[in-house]
Amino acid sequence: MNPGRIKDRNLRRLTDLPNVGPATAADLELLGVTSMEALAKADPLTLYRTLCERTGVRQDPCVLDVFLSITDFASGGPARPWWDFTEERKRRYGARPWEAGAPG
């Protein structure tokens, strides 16, 4: 959902989260994430790397930006566009977050 449309935190579906559409909701379900509580406890890098492993595909780093945005939101942060997290991702995890030696 567009972050500007989030009115409250009483969300019923994963697609009610900011920056989450049907494809990302399916990815989260593949990862076993089905609630805001689970997201609040989740590590975005672990979600990203696990998704890469389970799909057998190196996901675009922007997927990690989305995971950063939704875990931040689930932890009480404001609804923000996923691209607001790109610089944070690069600072925290470097340019190649899928590599085993990436910081994090």
Residue-wise pLDDT tens digits, 17-33: 999 999 999 999 999 99
- Averaged pLDDT, 39-46: 95
**Domain positions in the chain:** 13-93
Burial class (CB in 10 A: 0-12, 13-18, 19+), 80: middle
- Averaged pLDDT, 47-61: 96
Residue-wise pLDDT tens digits, 70-96: 999 999 999 999 999 999 999 999 888
Mean pLDDT of the chain: 88
Choose which CATH entry (1.10.150, 3.40.50, 1.10.1740, 2.40.50) describes domain 13-93.
Answer: 1.10.150
> Is pLDDT of 104 > 50?
no
pTM assigned to the model:
0.87
What CA–CA distance (Å, rounded) separates 67 from 45? Answer: 8
